[in-house]
Amino acid sequence: MCLPPSPPVSALLDRFGRIHNYLRVSVTDRCNFRCVYCLPEEGVTWLPRQSLLGYEEIARVVRVMAGMGLRSVRLTGGEPTVRRDLPALVESIAAVPGIVDLSMTTNAHRFASQASVLKAAGLRRVNISLDSLDAARFARITRGGDLAAVLAGIHAAIEAGLTPVKVNMVVMRGENDDEIVPMARWAMAVAPAVQLRFIEYMPFESRWHQNVPAAEMRVTLASALGELVPVTSKQGGGPAKHWQIGPLVVGFIAPITEHFCATCNRLRLLADGHLRTCLAHEDTPSLRDVLRGGATDGELALLLRGIVGGKPAGHLAEMAGGTAFEGVMTHIGG
C-alpha cells in the first residue's frame, strides 16, 4: 500500500493534522474606503501607530515561520497601500529564504502609481476588490470609491506583470448580484491576465446584508455563458474552487455554504501583532508583546507552534442562526 508522504518535521501542524504554509499579513487597519460589508458607516477608531507591528517585526515573524514551512505570504489591510514605504516591506519579505509567493490584496484606488514599484520590490501577484462595474453603485458600496481609479489600478497591475490579477467581487443579494454575469463578461475580455473570484458575503458582528450561495452563482453563470468546467490545477494557496468559462478562470470562495475549514492552511497576522488562526476566532495572544519583550527566535517559534496547535476545527458562522464572525473585517485582513 502506498502511503502519503509525512509532513516535514518542522511543519506548522495543528491537532487536526493541517499543515500551515500560508500567512496573511495585515500591514494596517486603516482604509481609504468604508465598504458596506466591512465597516460601519461611521467608521471605527484606528489603532495607534505605535500599536502596529513595524516592518522589521513583520519580517522577523515571516523569517521564523519560513523555517517552519511557510511558503506563501499575502499582504492585506485595511488597505495596504495607505501605509508608508510599503515597497520596503515587500523587499524584505521577498528576500526571506523559502518564501516562493508574495502577493497583496488591495482596493487599487491608489495602485496605478505603485504597481511597477511594488513589482520591482518583489511583489508577484495582486488581488483587487471590485464589487460593481457601475460607478454610482461602486461609490455607494465603497462609500466614496472612484471606479475609474480602480480600473486604472487593474490595468497598471496587468502592465506591471502582476498576473494573473485576481479580481474579487463580494456578492450581496439585492445589492449587486445582478452584476454576476456582466462582471464575468467584463473579465472574459481581459482574460487570461485577469481571473475573477466571487465571494460569499460573510457576516461580521451584524448581519447587514444577504448572502448568495456559490452554487446559485454558478447556475446563474452557466445559464448565461455556458458550461463551467472544473479546473483541477492549483490556482494559488487560497480557498477558492476554480472553474473555466471560455478563456476565463472563475473562482468561488464560499465560507458559509461550502465550508473549507477541513483543508485550511492559513494564518492571519493582524496589524497589532495578534496571530489569528481562524477568521472566526480572535482569542489569540499578541506576538507584538513577545517580540518587544526580547524573545529569541527559538522562543517565538515555540509560541507559534503552541498557537497553531490550538487552532479550532472550524467556524460556526451562518447566515441564519449560528454566530457572526468576531471583529471588524478591516482589523482582520480577510
Three-class SS state of 160? helix
The pLDDT assigned to 1 comes to 43
Q: For the purposes of burial, counting CB atoms within 10 Å of the CB of 201, is it exposed (0-12), middle (13-18) or buried (19 or more)? A: buried
Cα 200 to chain centroid, rounded: 13
Q: How confident is the model over 99-143, as pLDDT tens digits?
A: 999 999 999 999 999 999 999 999 999 999 999 999 999 999 999
Task: Say if residues 197 and 167 touch (Cβ distance below 8 Å).
Answer: yes
Query: Starting from the edge strand earliest in sequence, which strands make up the sheet with 194-200, in order?
Result: 229-230, 241-245, 248-253, 194-200, 165-171, 125-129, 101-106, 72-76, 22-26, 266-269, 275-276
Cα 28 to chain centroid, rounded: 14
Q: Which residues contact 55 (CB under 8 A, 6 or more apart)?
A: 85, 88, 89, 92
Q: How confident is the model over 48-106, as pLDDT tens digits?
A: 999 999 999 999 999 999 999 999 999 999 999 999 999 999 999 999 999 999 999 99
The pLDDT assigned to 334 comes to 54
Task: Say if residues 72 and 327 touch (Cβ distance below 8 Å).
Answer: no
- Hey, which residues does 229 pair with through a beta bridge? 244
Q: How confident is the model over 2-25, as pLDDT tens digits?
A: 544 555 558 999 999 999 999 999
Q: How confident is the model over 181-230, as pLDDT tens digits?
A: 999 999 999 999 999 999 999 876 555 688 899 999 999 999 999 999 99
Which residue type sits at 20?
Answer: H
The pLDDT assigned to 87 comes to 98
How would DSSP label each residue in 73-95? EEEESS-GGGSTTHHHHHHHHHT
The pLDDT assigned to 45 comes to 84
CA dist., res. 83 & res. 71, Å (int): 24
Which residue type sits at 188?
Answer: M
The pLDDT assigned to 7 comes to 56
DSSP assignment letter at 134: S
Give me the torsion for CA of 97, 28, 252, 17, rounded to 10°: 50
Task: Say if residues 196 and 242 touch (Cβ distance below 8 Å).
Answer: no
Place of cell 496605478: 112
Task: Say if residues 68 and 298 touch (Cβ distance below 8 Å).
Answer: no
CA dist., res. 147 & res. 293, Å (int): 44
CA dist., res. 25 & res. 89, Å (int): 11
Check whether 170 has a pLDDT greater than 60: yes
The pLDDT assigned to 240 comes to 86
The pLDDT assigned to 319 comes to 44
The pLDDT assigned to 283 comes to 67
- Under the banding of pLDDT at 50, 70 and 90, the label for residue 316 is low
- Under the banding of pLDDT at 50, 70 and 90, the label for residue 156 is very high
Task: Say if residues 99 and 64 touch (Cβ distance below 8 Å).
Answer: no
The pLDDT assigned to 205 comes to 56
Check whether 266 has a pLDDT greater than 60: yes
The pLDDT assigned to 137 comes to 98
Give me the torsion for CA of 274, 276, 282, 283, rounded to 10°: -80
Q: Which domains does the chain have, with CATH numbers?
A: 22-332 (3.20.20.70)
- How far are the Cα atoms of 7, 16, 188, 279 from residue 326, in angstroms, in the given order? 31, 22, 36, 8
pTM: 0.90
What is the per-residue burial (b if ≥16 Cβ within 10 Å, else e) of 259-274? ebbeebbbbbbbbbbb
Give me 198's grid cell. 466571487
The pLDDT assigned to 331 comes to 53
Q: What is the mean pLDDT of the chain?
A: 90
CA dist., res. 211 & res. 62, Å (int): 34
